[in-house]
Amino acid sequence: MKKNRIALYIDLLFCLVIMPLAIMLLPVDRWIAHNTAFLLTLVAYVYLLYFVYRCACLPKLFMQRKYLRIALLLVVLAAVTELLTYFPMPAERITADTQLMAARMNMRRQTIWFFFLVVTGFSLAIELTFELFRQILSRQEVEAEKDKAELALYKAQINPHFLFNTLNTLYALVLSGSDKTESAFVKFSGILRYMYSQSGAELIPAARELEYVRQYVDLQRLRLNHHTMVNLVVEAVYAQALVPPMILITFVENAFKYGTSSETDCTILIRIHVDEFCLWLETENAVMRRREDGACGIGIANCRKRLELLYPGRYTLQTGETDGTYRVRLEIKIKDE
């Protein structure tokens, strides 16, 4: 719609401003008095030529490699232009002075071909600009669809990853015969409802994401004994800020996966701050266990890719281990100040 409006403005600019100014360069007064038919024919030809070019869209035909059609169109237009140069002179302008007649015919020929070149150049420049604009938009649409598909893939990978770890937690509670099992299943059902309700959403209020993290932390606390202390600090200055769903859970989940112990005292620290412009997450946990293969899990790798697609150049993510403590620092600029 916007492109069509721009095209309309350009057509109006050509028809109402550019061509009238160009025609005023001609001896209009003298031609109206002595050669009205030719002047009207020339004006009609110029406008017709412009709209033929606009409808034909030569750059698009060139991109489609329809060279024969382009050549045929240019030959026809050049032939019509040449024929126009033989438009009969009015009887009162015919003189016995052959040099004067040749000068008038030469002026007419130069005028006609001048307008032909002007209209051709202007039309091709406009169509080339629009074709480049169309190519850019098409490429952006393809990239947007690709990014959307990648986001869906990463999001789909996060959900099974989270469910697998949570089911392991419930399984451990069931085996131990804990009296917390019923409460754990209630919280787990709430988490599932959240995952189902936000499955198609790109952005959600931060309050819902923070509640989801709280439920997950509460669920993990149910399976932990007194050796693991969990500190969750949430500062929701602007709880209605829009954030991507399940953008924090991977880091919180990893803290519980690798930072808990049933025999050794340890602490998990989780800090989350949300205001109108920024989302900030910090986790710290003692490294109580490691992956057997020593490699990084898919969770953090997926989150990095997801953040890069959603917030390119607008986030910082630092992860690493120092003196047996694993730390995560994530800052997302969700809105320009």
- The CATH number that applies at residue 230 is 3.30.565.10
Positive/negative CA dihedral, 255, 256, 258, 264: positive
Q: Among the ranges 6-15, 62-71, 166-175, 318-327, which has the highest mean pLDDT value?
A: 318-327
One domain, residues 236 and 327: yes
One domain, residues 131 and 248: no
One domain, residues 188 and 134: no
Q: Are the C-beta atoms of residues 278 and 334 closer than 8 Å to each other?
A: yes
Residue 78 within a domain: yes
One domain, residues 316 and 184: yes
One domain, residues 329 and 185: yes
Which domain, by its residues, includes 214?
A: 178-333
Q: Pull the structure tokens for residue 296.
A: 């990084």
One domain, residues 117 and 227: no
One domain, residues 127 and 224: no
pTM across the whole model: 0.53
* DSSP class of 93: G
CA dist., res. 45 & res. 81, Å (int): 9
One domain, residues 328 and 183: yes
**Based on the structure, what is the number of domains in the chain?**
2
Instruction: State pLDDT tens for residues 64-114.
Output: 788 888 888 888 888 888 888 777 665 445 555 566 666 767 777 888 888
One domain, residues 119 and 68: yes
Instruction: Tell me what pLDDT residue 311 has.
Output: 87
